Structure 1
């Protein structure tokens, strides 16, 4: 007997939790890796860039593979590859292998978004899609949020190698959860219709202005949130005189509050069509709070609360963002749509670490936060522009196509 719909959501969410734990593994260990492995922040930033460049290159092709060969099969393969990549760092601390492992992890990371969203789109009722997306994204944010405390705790007591071993083990546990569970029943969805793929190329029509604009939005979201989530601990300790405990508490508050912001955003996504306005208001508030943190005169507890509120507001946008992508995707092409759009995360993830690592190596610690402010402001401008275009455009068939 196939699992109920909640079983599908649990399996996909478990994989998404691990994917974000893997994404945050290297950033979480940034404060100790320079001393443990003798690397500069720029070298570590390059490793993160390799991860994201590879993900950007493979994500769209993997989206096509998901639609053709099956999302669940590729999702399980991605879990195994990611686990092997991070687990291998427990045995080798050489910089060349770090770059190789991050490239392999980047391939694995390219699977998650196309596979996850294709499975959810095929197996969850449209009326509950906003909440399902928010639970799925919440699980991912939880994976990222537990990474700093969990992996830094392991590294400080057992060493960096054991932290990477635990990262690999988490992926294996998620793989076992998918392998041992029954295969969820997915709704039969029509293959791409001839109208969708004029001339036979399903990828031709999917590169619409809406998809390309959403890809740019993902780039800006990646740059604005990763600057805080990945580099704020090093910035706070190195430039603001915040001790490591309070700095970790602040970024953990940012990440956990982001997760709960996602749940609030899921409720909004099922109740409004003004997704661009929701994003603009949330990110405008986040930009103000990030500027307050960049100012650098907040007491430790106030800093934790400030970054927590910033994270909550950045989380609110995510379900609406996912609904926009799903509405823009042709029927049966969700894997391709999310594969293409999600490359925006990787483009931002490739550019950001080099930029933020350069700022840290040159002592421009406040620049990490001011960069977040700038990228958030650009996000607000883009979403308001999209909201204006959507208000002026006729509303055709995009919402039924999501069902």
Structure 2
């Protein structure tokens, strides 16, 4: 078969790819996020039962994200060298069993340790899912592919938050944790049945040669290879200009987003005159529905901007972040609760519109054989320097001042993040073209 004919066949395969893998991976994200968000729904209940400070409540979120960040780069390397569908499936099965550690915690230290252990699960799922999406869908469709899977992040967060508040208020917080462990095993079955694509499959339609398939190795040889190759791949990722700018920019943005998102239900309970159930339900609608709509719209718009405006995807991220910042800052100064909720709904919608473009831009400049590590580097920097530190820091600032005061204090990093993303806009097209040129057959 000629090279042109083979490339045509690959393009036809990519064109026929269904939305099913995208849907299954969205369910994986949904299960992950429900478990993460269930904690936020029961924070006021834990505060009353164990007389916890805001700093202690914030550390519960930190434990999950910090361990997640430590595990994510090794997990990304594993995703680049094993069958990703099986990796996701077995992770979901084990995670569903481990959730019982949270449900059976007898004190604060037990729960803190249980949440830390749970952080390993998403560290494995995220790079494997990101790598699969990059191989299933070509560049022109990637933002839309990510929009569906990222919708699950917001919807799952909303479901977990509302479920935690409702079940925690009626049956107790232990039942809230116990219930979320069940769906993971069902989604695991679907993950096992996904087709494992050839690495770089979607890029072959552009004339990019796929990387060689990872060899079958014993566990000892696999671990040895990981030790020697992992650091080299990490250096490659951080050597890409656009990736450096995106990683720093996203970490700064997520510091503020995570700090406010983690505490938003508690804010409404304290300042909007709501019960725990009402606060978690309204916040779930704001985050889940607003985030879902924004992500879908952002995915479509991001793909339309791709190729028509230089760095169009990243420009969309910048303007979305500015809109979100203005709306949330204004909402904290307004006493009318319905108007406050409306502004926050639109703010979340704007912020969510930035997510697909960021993920797609990252894949555009990272080689196919390193996309798992690339996704892990994204998760590592955004977690350690962004979402992990924010919840306890906001809690500490809240103990020292007030929750609203803490929110205002953590907004300035947004400016830093936007400046770095504007730098990424200037380099993304050149880095993407350089990748295609370097990998194309001579």
The alignment's TM-score, normalised by the length of structure 2, stands at 0.81
370 and 242 in structure 1: CA distance in 2 versus 1, 3 angstrom threshold: farther
- What secondary structure does 2:369 align onto? coil
Question: After superposition, where does 1:134-145 map in structure 2 within 5 Å?
Answer: 134-145=147-158
CA distance in 1, matches of 2:299, 2:195: 23
CA contact (8 A) 1:27 1:231 kept: yes
1:62, distance to aligned residue in structure 2 (A): 0.6
How many angstroms apart in 2 are the aligned matches of 1:283 and 1:258?
13
- Offset of 1:238 from its aligned partner? 2.6
Superposed counterparts of 1:61-76, under 5 Å: 61-76=74-89
Q: Deviations over 1:90-110 (max 9, x none)?
A: 222322221221121111121
After superposition, the Cα gap between the structure-2 partners of 1:97 and 1:255, relative to the gap in structure 1 and judged at 3 Å, is same
Aligned residues, how many? Answer: 392
Q: Conserved in 1, the CA contact under 8 Å of 2:139 and 2:364?
A: no
The alpha-carbon deviation at position 312 of structure 1 amounts to: 0.3
- From 365, 368, 376, the equivalent of 2:414 is 376
Question: Per the alignment, do residues 377 and 394 of structure 1 end up closer, same or farther by CA in structure 2, a change over 3 Å counting?
Answer: closer
Q: 1:272 matched to which residue of 2?
A: 305
Is the Cα–Cα contact under 8 Å of residues 295 and 354 in structure 2 kept in the other structure?
yes
Residue in 2 that maps onto 1:196: none
Deviation at 1:394, TM superposition (A): 7.9
Correspondence for 1:338: 375
For 1:127-206, list aligned pairs within 5 A.
Answer: 127-179=140-192, 182-189=193-200, 190-191=210-211, 201-206=232-237
Find the counterpart in structure 1 of residue 293 from structure 2. 260
The residue correspondences of 1:111-130 to structure 2 (distance < 5 A) are 111-130=124-143
- The equivalent residue for 2:216 is none
- Superposition deviation, residue 336 in structure 1: 0.9
Match of 1:293? 331
Q: Specify the SS of the correspondent of 2:353.
A: helix
Query: Could you tell me whether the CA contact under 8 Å between 1:251 and 1:307 is conserved in 2?
Result: no
Which runs of structure 2 are paired with 1:38-49 in the superposition (5 Å)? Answer: 38-49=51-62
With over 3 angstroms needed to count, the CA separation of the structure-2 counterparts of 1:93 and 1:173, relative to structure 1, is farther
Q: How many Å apart are 1:235 and its aligned residue?
A: 2.4
d(CA) in 2 for partners of 1:276, 1:127 = 15
Match of 1:318 in 2: 355
Q: Is residue 395–residue 403 contact of structure 2 (8 Å, CA) maintained in 1?
A: no
Counterpart of 1:222 in structure 2 is: 254
Structure 1 residue 156: Cα displacement:
1.0
Tell me by how many angstroms 1:160 deviates: 0.6
Pick from 227, 233, 238 the counterpart of residue 207 of structure 1: 238
In the alignment, the residues of structure 2 paired with residue 79 and residue 352 of structure 1 have an alpha-carbon distance, to the nearest angstrom, of 27
- Note if contact 1:293-1:306 (Cα within 8 Å) is conserved in structure 2: yes
Distance 1:294 1:157 in 2: 30
> CA shift at 1:70, angstroms?
2.2
Q: Aligned residue for 2:12?
A: none
Q: Distance in 2 between matches of 1:261 and 1:317?
A: 8
For residues 439 and 157 of structure 2, the distance between their equivalents in structure 1, rounded to whole angstroms, comes to: 29
Question: Counterpart of 1:88 in 2: which secondary structure?
Answer: helix
Among 364, 367, 373, the alignment partner of 1:327 is 364
Q: 1:305 to 1:358 in 2, by over 3 A?
A: same
Instruction: Note if contact 2:85-2:196 (Cα within 8 Å) is conserved in structure 1.
Output: no
What whole-Å deviation, never above 9, does each CA across 1:339-390 have from its counterpart, x for those lacking one? Answer: 1111123212221111111123234121343245323333322222332455
Measure how far apart 1:316 and its partner are. Answer: 0.6
Q: Is the 8 A contact 1:192 1:202 kept in 2?
A: no
- In structure 2, the CA distance between the partners of 1:233 and 1:188, relative to structure 1 (3 Å rule), is closer
CA deviations on 1:102-160 (whole Å, 9 max, x unpaired) are 12111112112201111111122433222111111112221011112112111111111
Q: Which runs of 5+ in 1 are unaligned?
A: 194-198
* RMSD of Structure 2 on Structure 1 (CA): 2.6
Structure-2 residue corresponding to 1:29: 42
C-alpha separation in 2, matches of 1:87 and 1:322? 32
State the Cα distance separating 1:188 from its structure 2 match. 4.4
